[in-house]
Structure 1
């Protein structure tokens, strides 16, 4: 039953798709008042059913664990307590406590957003690992927030800033995204309830919802239209989730209130109006639309989300799966004109991956799994600095740029907050299932315990260093099950053996290889994708290309000439120093390659004894996975000569 709770819970909030409620009617362990009406093609697994095995993803997760556990609870809660006027000399008081900086500074409108993200990250990490340390830290933060809410005594209002910021938003005055920050807190508290079984978190977040309903009920349609132009994150999604948990129609009213007609209605007509729109303001709106569609089982929500997804992926995204320039969408297909030092905001990818998981569950279309792999490996995996565990706001596409990382105590950008979640939930999209079939979407070393079927399987791989993956059945009951292995669209061939016997493959790339049998313990399936070098051009310039090996974007190593020493970190005196950073790209940087773009293997050769390392024959430039290039310059997009 514990597994079932986590499964349905995580589905509900978009971490692991929600529709599993219909799959297990009446078995919600008291967590949900409503069932989704939409029947999915596939279901996600509870995050606690998956464990990461040794590999690059687990290394990132362990670094993330060290960071989030090092963050001091008192310092995280300080701005909240300050807003409530809580002072306790026995705790060191206001003057002795070192304050966090950056976007958590007391003079920043977004203060408190990181605490919300952290609540989600801790909950996800607890589900992913079962480590009680994450629950203990979570409980202390939730308890502290409950105290602040009680002392504020403002009908359930809870934040690190006064309600005047909300009033400014309602009045159409300049303010930096107060509902965005509240969304992170609401989402974090919901995660705490669902993943950590924290009843106090549910009580606190319901009071926040009750306050919001009273606050927004008197708003006129004209006021609403103005206030929704201010970024509000995915608070519509969170209120739909709270509605599903409680069944209270006031929360559904709130979710519908945050439907942004100006941005969403054109999608119903198939119009791409993304140009110049703030990308991370736009994407979460579709998560709310998708949740409504799942709950109601009808309407145009799925059609709108699918159109938006296809538009972003096909016309506004780089080879890495990331999008935007200076946080905004640009004119469709004009990629080559936006290869700057401020491309690829990490929060955008975080939200696109969330949307992708919803859409995949609706259809089981392999294109969503292909994209998820592309963005996860080429952006999210490489967002984190292996030396420090700090993360990058942008993934620059400018030739000669480099990654600029956060600091442990003086950044707390939005991408730091979403990073708390990104590296805590790698297991969420590896496996899916239908009634009698298991789907393997990602090749990441991991184990799965499908308790309902009494089926355990282990995946061993060092992909993408090798295209080979081994699946070993650790336990199975006497029943017929299908193992669906993703045959990626990038693959030119595949070899599969079952218990050492070659399997004839009838499927083609961009589908699933289905193996149906009564599985037994120690059954072994080996799958191997020979990976090839390919090039992908920008939509608007066929001679501006990126180089890939399989699904992995390769970048040219360009050294550290004229870079700050040590490798650059953010300036603690500035909020948005990732924008002010001068990359000082050397004028003699090589940006041109003489290669055959149709057959790049003729001009790019693997380096002997070095995994995933190549060298161009004519220029002598070393190419390595972009996710593994840190603290030095690189080139992703090249001009062909």
Structure 2
């Protein structure tokens, strides 16, 4: 049964705001939404501009990302857009004298143009996260160039680096890669430019794109729609809902509903796990659209469906790192040990799961979502980036003896490079949340938070996870009681809390929030200690195949560099999926088994003096370090435990 496409009446003119329209928080984006969310969330996000990172792993990743964002050559990036529009500029040497980007941005690749959308989002997020105008200036120049392309194309608002023929092939059910997916990235980037950088031209461009899409899809029959939706379209439904919320234009709400994919979503209503063999990054964004619909309407089954999907993925389809999929696809529920390959853990999947997690956390305030966010952020996203080059990994391989393989600056413009532009620009998005009278601390990342509406600001100093201690210093506070809710994580063996040096009794259990309520004053200090311990986490289907963790941090066994290929194997622009051609050449004598006492890991695995988060196995003499910190060498995550 095809879901009815309908238009709801507009709600009263008011504003919702938030990071990519997710948080409902009245701050940076106030006044930019014509349609208010009807959902009353349990907690609210802060604007990214309210959080500033202090020195630590996250800020260092962000700084490397800044160099990469600014190094992208706009002329190379937009070349395919200009070619598609027939824009010839003699001052630039014509069409063929420009050295073009390769790989997924090649002129013969059907996904060309997606990187531009991600770059616009990354620049917008980086501008919000840092306040530095250089990121806005670069984005402004891209938006201006895209406006020119859209005008010259003169196709009812159509804008892309490829001709409409690819869209027509999709509508006809013919083979094509993913044209709506690519348009989604461009639209999302333009929307972010409007929300974070107040770029009115970006809103005008994306609105024209929406007008074109409405005209294009109005004549599509139900049978055509069923066929075309089987092609990957990313989160374009989410973008249309956001565009509807911003403008109040019913056509965009119609478009969002048009991309409701019955075949993939209806079974979730019935509590059915049909994920086996489904392309994971095609699936996850569909739930983001449903979630935005639920937030705007304040009713319906979008929230329960998204929550069921989320729980199913993290419980039955995810590795210890919080990542999922093998060769980009979900597999039989719980069948983890059979899928420890070199192609596990697509980074785009984690990116989208974290977006969905933030939505669901604001709806409920359920600490499980904060736990997962921490797991996936520290064990996957943080270690995706190569500290030597700033390039990023498509997969996080679970194959024993594999290693991370990174993108290249000229040719490897994969989807995970695009989401990488965003991942490392928004570490501040999920550290803090708030209710009307309480501040929530969900993540232990060195940072400051400025709750402007309450006149409250605070600094968090920590070297977590190398240290188990967090120091919170109140910098400004109103003359009224405010509650501070500090997440008491499930991995902590205990909790020690002091306020201005005085020890407070901790009555809460782990996996809840420790609440401190008082009238705060400037220079009040709260110290929290959450001791960590070694644990194992077995695969769902094999109790003797297990990973080793210290607190929430996945430890990997360092296995050296024997028989590793040259540093940049992903360099052939003619092979768009060349990551599947990569052979890890794992040595036959690689150690993949450990003799440990599961009931007393400390006797089998001992810390290395003077090296935080470094351990040695007593019998095998293997060094274990955080997976996020293991680069350019082989590693083992899942061991055969003897």
* Residues 336-373 of structure 1: per-residue CA shift (max 9 Å, x gap): 01000000000000000000000000011110000000
* Residues 20-63 of structure 1: per-residue CA shift (max 9 Å, x gap): 36xx8xx9654111100000000000100000001110000000
Shift of 1:11: 3.9
Match of 2:21 among 13, 16, 33: 13
**Any stretches of 5+ residues in structure 2 without a counterpart?**
1-14
Paired residues for 1:43-442 under 5 Å: 43-442=44-443
Aligned twin of 2:582 = 581
Q: Is the 8 A contact 1:283 1:351 kept in 2?
A: yes
Q: Is the 8 A contact 1:534 1:599 kept in 2?
A: no
Shift of 1:640: 1.3
Shift of 1:214: 0.3
Helix, strand or coil at the partner of 2:95:
helix
Q: Is the 8 A contact 1:404 1:570 kept in 2?
A: no
Q: Is the 8 A contact 1:10 1:195 kept in 2?
A: no
Shift of 1:576: 1.3
Aligned twin of 2:42 = 41
Within 1, Cα distance between the matches of 2:446 and 2:572? 37
Within 2, Cα distance between the matches of 1:618 and 1:567? 35
Shift of 1:417: 0.2
Count of paired positions: 628
Structure 1 stretches (4+) deviating beyond 6 angstroms? none
Within 2, Cα distance between the matches of 1:635 and 1:140? 45
Within 2, Cα distance between the matches of 1:147 and 1:105? 21
Within 1, Cα distance between the matches of 2:393 and 2:567? 16
* Residues 569-614 of structure 1: per-residue CA shift (max 9 Å, x gap): 5444421111110000000000010001232112000011111100
Within 2, Cα distance between the matches of 1:625 and 1:495? 25
Q: Is the 8 A contact 2:19 2:48 kept in 1?
A: no
Helix, strand or coil at the partner of 1:619:
coil
Within 2, Cα distance between the matches of 1:456 and 1:218? 53
Within 2, Cα distance between the matches of 1:93 and 1:117? 26
Q: Is the 8 A contact 1:339 1:397 kept in 2?
A: yes
Q: Is the 8 A contact 2:16 2:36 kept in 1?
A: no
Helix, strand or coil at the partner of 2:18:
helix
Within 1, Cα distance between the matches of 2:402 and 2:40? 46
Within 1, Cα distance between the matches of 2:178 and 2:554? 34
Q: Is the 8 A contact 2:18 2:25 kept in 1?
A: no
Within 2, Cα distance between the matches of 1:278 and 1:573? 23
Q: Is the 8 A contact 1:327 1:345 kept in 2?
A: yes
Within 1, Cα distance between the matches of 2:135 and 2:93? 25
Q: Is the 8 A contact 2:20 2:195 kept in 1?
A: no
Within 1, Cα distance between the matches of 2:610 and 2:165? 62
- RMSD of aligned C-alpha atoms? 1.2
Q: Is the 8 A contact 1:275 1:331 kept in 2?
A: yes
Helix, strand or coil at the partner of 1:623:
strand
TM value normalised by structure 1: 0.97
Within 1, Cα distance between the matches of 2:397 and 2:329? 14
Q: Is the 8 A contact 1:567 1:631 kept in 2?
A: no
Q: 1:622 to 1:437 in 2, by over 3 A?
A: same
Q: 1:306 to 1:474 in 2, by over 3 A?
A: same
TM value normalised by structure 2: 0.97
* Residues 520-542 of structure 1: per-residue CA shift (max 9 Å, x gap): 00000000111000000000000
Within 1, Cα distance between the matches of 2:30 and 2:273? 43
Within 1, Cα distance between the matches of 2:268 and 2:310? 11
Aligned twin of 1:32 = 33
Within 1, Cα distance between the matches of 2:198 and 2:17? 10
Within 2, Cα distance between the matches of 1:604 and 1:570? 39
- The range that moved more, 197-206 or 593-602, is 593-602
Shift of 1:567: 6.5
Shift of 1:8: 4.8
Q: Is the 8 A contact 2:458 2:475 kept in 1?
A: yes
Q: Is the 8 A contact 1:431 1:439 kept in 2?
A: yes
Paired residues for 1:449-528 under 5 Å: 449-528=450-529
Helix, strand or coil at the partner of 1:317:
coil
Within 2, Cα distance between the matches of 1:417 and 1:72? 15
Shift of 1:10: 3.0
Within 1, Cα distance between the matches of 2:105 and 2:568? 24
Within 2, Cα distance between the matches of 1:626 and 1:599? 22
Within 1, Cα distance between the matches of 2:438 and 2:498? 19
Helix, strand or coil at the partner of 1:94:
coil
* Residues 360-407 of structure 1: per-residue CA shift (max 9 Å, x gap): 000111100000000000000000000000000000000000001000
Q: Is the 8 A contact 2:570 2:578 kept in 1?
A: no
Helix, strand or coil at the partner of 1:95:
coil
Q: 1:190 to 1:42 in 2, by over 3 A?
A: same
- The range that moved more, 568-577 or 530-539, is 568-577
**Any stretches of 5+ residues in structure 1 without a counterpart?**
1-6
Q: Is the 8 A contact 2:403 2:635 kept in 1?
A: yes
Helix, strand or coil at the partner of 1:270:
coil
Helix, strand or coil at the partner of 2:344:
coil
Within 1, Cα distance between the matches of 2:571 and 2:545? 31
Q: Is the 8 A contact 1:491 1:550 kept in 2?
A: yes
Aligned twin of 1:554 = 555
Within 1, Cα distance between the matches of 2:617 and 2:443? 30
Aligned twin of 1:631 = 632
* Residues 418-454 of structure 1: per-residue CA shift (max 9 Å, x gap): 0000000000000000000000000000001111111
* Residues 240-267 of structure 1: per-residue CA shift (max 9 Å, x gap): 0000000000000000000000000001
Shift of 1:12: 5.0
* Residues 601-636 of structure 1: per-residue CA shift (max 9 Å, x gap): 120000111111000000000000000000000000
Shift of 1:559: 0.1
Within 1, Cα distance between the matches of 2:17 and 2:197? 10
Helix, strand or coil at the partner of 2:96:
helix
Task: Verify: 1:545 aligned to 2:546, yes or no.
Answer: yes
Helix, strand or coil at the partner of 2:36:
coil
